Structure 1
Amino acid sequence: MEHTSSNNQGSRFGNWLKTSITARMLMVGLLIVVLLIPLAYIKSLIAERAGRQQEVITEINEKWGEEVLIYGPILKVPYKTYVETTYTDQETKKVHTERKEKIKYGYFFPESLDIMGSVHPEPKSRGIYTTAVYQSESTLTGTFANLDFTEESVAAEDIVWDKARMIIKTSNLKGVNDEVAVNINANRYPFSSVYEGNKNQNNYYNPDFVQMHTLRSIALKEADSPKERSIRFSIDLNVNGSKQIRFIPIGKETTANLTSNWKTANFIGEFLPVNPDKITDEGFNAKWKVLDLNRPFAQQTFNYLPDLNEYASGVNFMIPVDEYQKSERSAKYGFLVIALTFLIFFLIQTLSKISIHPFQYLMIGLALTMFYTLLISISEHSSFLKAYLIAGVAVILLITLYSRSILKNIKFPMFILVSLSALYAFIFTIIQLESYALLVGSLGLFFILAIVMYVSRKIDWQNG
């Protein structure tokens, strides 16, 4: 009797699972939760592949040369200061004053600075990953005049003109191709690198941090220093680099002109080009003009050289690779795709009284998750659009053919084909949009909800 009772209870429970709308809803909800697990693994796979891409790009850039950031030229002029100390002789009780000399430095920016640069980018690939590197040829010309020591009350005879040097700070020493020297009048003063230790090691975890290195010229002849008159300088700087090229507008009047055959220029920084015709059919020809009134720092500083990287401007040459970003955004809609697809099958099952087994729901859900692995793997070798089309068509056909064997007729599978096509097209549209993504997504979901409410009005929920 007990065995018969157990069989009857199991039979009643099985019948409840088959006939109850509530049971089917619980089962579908549970399967959706279960399928969130492979979706989470897919998101981690996308992040892993994007991280691998960044590692390869960083390795290529390190070997070729990192970004080029030019800060200079700067005139470094030593001057004498004096410190007086007073002490009393214990034996004679006389008061003595001792005067000690101490050398300090003033750093002066150019009166005018003109930067002429030509950049020749080219793609570099390793495996399936590609980045942009370039060769740059720059000429820096300008003048130094009216060095103002009044801030420190320095007497004219205490300025050590014969020890003055020109310095340039740059982010990329590895990429320098030729000797760097400053030409003043008929004299040429070569630069050499200066080891300053690892002063900024605490900033390595800052993604915006740029390690700067110092190039220092030999001492200028007194006749080539702006002691009594202005001097004009010229510096050629040829550097291999990657990512971007930038300059800091330290001249009282800074003008810059960068040209390149790169057609997808992205101008970055504190100041943008002033010419409206900067983008051409052959590439770009960008011009900047920055006055000292446009930026919040003076033309000279004493005893230290400030960090002015935040005021740099220039051009970014990174190849816009957003396949992983788009794949990640697609995966974020995975829950919505699975839930809406299961809802379609649930409504078909409920309205047509066709039985769909939980295992069949699970197979459909796994097919939906396979879309994302196909998408990321194909997009690594092709464009995102082609990858989305191939993955979408493959998954939609697979589910349509599978539903044909479940639903026994052609009407419902064709409805599923149209519904899934519209759903994937809707998701693709949202991914492509930026400013209107939220608006379009909200209107689309509202439209879907209205359709579901209209279709489900005929379901007798009281008997579920």
Structure 2
Amino acid sequence: MFVIGFLTLILLIPLFMVQELIKERSQRQESVVSEINDKWGDEVVLYGPVLKIPYRTYSEKHITNSKKELTTESIEALKYLYFFPHQLKIHSVVDPEIKKRGIYQTAVYKSKTDLSGNFSISDYQNEDISEKDILWDKARIIFKTSNLKGVNNEIYIQLGNSSYTFKSKYEEHNQLRPNEQELFLMESGILKESDFLKEKSVEFKMEVSVNGSSEISFVPIGKTTEAEIISDWKTSSFKGNFLPYNEDKITDSGFKAKWKILDINRPFPQVFNNNLPRLTEYAFGVNFMIPVDEYQKSERATKYGFLVIGLTFLLFFLIQTLSKIPIHPFQYLMIGLGLVMFYTLLISISEHSSFLKAYLIAGISVLLMISLYSKSILKGWKFPIFIGLSLFALYSFIFIIIQLESYALLVGSIGLFLILAGVMYVSRKIDWDHQ
């Protein structure tokens, strides 16, 4: 019993090595996917359009000259007001495809997004800013995105009777907070006074065509934001603080998701003074990631490796005790290494096939190998068949636990209870005093 316990602990070493192999392969997959996405275009976040209007501020500076006379100098500086749209409508069509490199693959896409709505600032009032200090004739439109290199066409906005082209502008980036994403700034030229009138709302339209990967999302900056995203991708999931409201969003041919977000639904105002925050943590959208959980399932399976090895050794020990057939420690070691081989087969096959097929192939291979090997040890077919059936039941039990989420602990606990009860029932016939 001491030797069997020692061998069980020794076999944890290759079991831990298999777990490290799974982590390494998983990290390799993430690295390759990241490289593909970086070349095609990273995930896309669209933020805008936003109306940017400068205003004058004044401050006093006290200066003491050489004669120790105190004078006051007035300093004028420019700051900015940022107005979000009163109404923002988003219509986005996303065309995804799969890119492969070796055994790894990721989802990339081409998207076409139409943005429309209006700005309404006629009722804007701020006691700290005088009306005469706001430079209405210097207004511009800004737009932000997380993916500049994925933009396919020139971006422009139709405002009033004119069209304004956006140009990239360098912006100093501060340290990102959690859930924030780096955004790049684009800015239009100065708006014509005939196109931008403070007294009435201003309609706008713009189109953005951009390549991206993994996901696309939008910041809900409209006082009322209405969005519709359409795609033929069938394994998508919706992300962000806001979920689609239509119940028929997912169909057999893809999805058509709709959102309606009011300003009261989000914790930020319609106007910002001087600094425009990123606000990407409040974005909503769609994730096009390919669901790859083979590595996660394989890692969960290896966590039961100690249980499989321990129960299998216990089974052989009980057979040895009841049948008086001697089993050498080297033979226990070979059986234990065979059980460890199950996990290397599982991870290697699952990279080229589904997890179910990999589990079946690895399980049947190891089950046959140990059953045939045990026949040469136990001199007959009765015990090897019993061992094969026991391993089949054990691997089936573990597979069921891996597939479950909410009931994994419950089913696992019941299964272990039944296994323990069976061992206690069998071992009751052993006369330990004469062993």
The reply to whether TM is greater than 0.5 is: yes
Deviation at 1:192, TM superposition (A): 0.9
What's the counterpart of residue 165 of structure 2?
190
User: Match for 1:334 among 271, 295, 305?
Assistant: 305
For residue 243 of structure 1, report the CA deviation from its aligned partner.
0.8
| Counterpart for residue 319 of structure 2 | 348
Match for 2:314: what amino acid? L
1:49 aligned to which of 17, 25, 38: 25
Match of 2:358 in 1: 387
Tell me the residue number matched to 2:417: 446
The structural deviation recorded for 1:84 is 3.8
CA distance in 2, matches of 1:148, 1:27: 84
Q: Classify 1:111/1:415 alpha carbon distance in 2 versus 1 (closer, same or farther; 3 Å).
A: same
8 A Cα contact 1:145 1:226, kept in partner: no
Q: 1:70 aligns with which of 34, 40, 46?
A: 46
Q: C-alpha separation between the residues in 2 aligned to 1:357 and 1:237? A: 72
Shift of 1:209: 4.3
Distance in 2 separating the partners of 1:97 and 1:384: 77
1:178 aligns with 2:146: no
Task: Confirm whether residue 420 of structure 1 aligns to residue 391 of structure 2.
Answer: yes
- Cα distance 1:227–1:415, how it changes in 2: closer, same or farther (>3 A)? same
Residues 33-69 of structure 1 deviation map (CA, whole Å, 9 limit, x = unaligned): 1100100100000000000000000000000000011
Cα deviations across residues 250-296 of structure 1 (Å, max 9, x unaligned)?
Answer: 10000000000011120110000011110112100000000011111
Contact 2:167 2:187 in 1 (8 A): yes
Instruction: Pick one of 135, 141, 145 that aligns with 1:166.
Output: 141
Q: 2 CA distance for matches of 1:399 and 1:283? A: 46
Alignment identity in percent?
A: 61
Q: 1:342 to 1:91 in 2, by over 3 A?
A: closer
Q: Helix, strand or coil for the counterpart of 1:458?
A: coil
Q: Distance in 1 between matches of 2:432 and 2:68?
A: 113
Which of 280, 285, 295 aligns to 2:251? It is: 280
Partner of 1:462: 433
8 Å CA contact 2:226–2:261 kept in 1: the answer is yes
SS of residue in 2 equivalent to 1:189: strand
Structure 1 match to 2:338: 367
Cα separation, 1, equivalents of 2:68 and 2:214: 71
Give 1:115-130 correspondences, 5 Å limit.
115-130=90-105
Q: Which amino acid aligns with 1:190?
A: T
| Larger helix proportion of the pair | 1
Matching residue of 1:15: none
Aligned residue for 1:151, secondary structure, equals: coil
**5+ residue gaps in structure 2?**
none
Task: Tell me how far apart the structure 2 counterparts of residues 423 and 166 of structure 1 sit (CA, whole Å).
Answer: 64
Q: Could you give the per-residue CA deviations for residues 382-415 of structure 1, whole angstroms, max 9, x where no partner exists?
A: 0000000000000000000000111011110110
- Aligned residue pairs, count: 435
Q: What residue number does 2:401 align with?
A: 430
Moved more, 147-156 or 191-200: 147-156
Q: Aligned-residue CA RMSD in angstroms?
A: 1.7
Which whole-Å CA distance do the structure 2 matches of 1:148 and 1:29 have between them? 80
Contact 1:146 / 1:226 at 8 angstroms: preserved in 2? no
For 1:19-34, what aligned pairs fall within 5 Å after superposition? 25-34=1-10
Equivalences for 1:16-415 in 2 at 5 Å? 25-85=1-61, 98-146=73-121, 150-151=125-126, 153-200=128-175, 208-415=179-386
Gaps of 5+ in 1: 1-24
Q: Which letter does structure 2 place at the counterpart of 1:240?
A: N
Alpha-carbon contact 2:122-2:201 (below 8 Å) kept: no
Task: Answer yes or no: is the 8 Å Cα contact 1:80–1:158 preserved in 2.
Answer: yes
Is the radius of gyration larger for structure 1 or structure 2?
A: 1
Q: 1:319 to 1:89 in 2, by over 3 A?
A: closer
Distance in 1 (CA, whole Å) between partners of 2:430 and 2:154 is: 83
Counterpart CA distance in 1 for 2:276 and 2:408 is 46
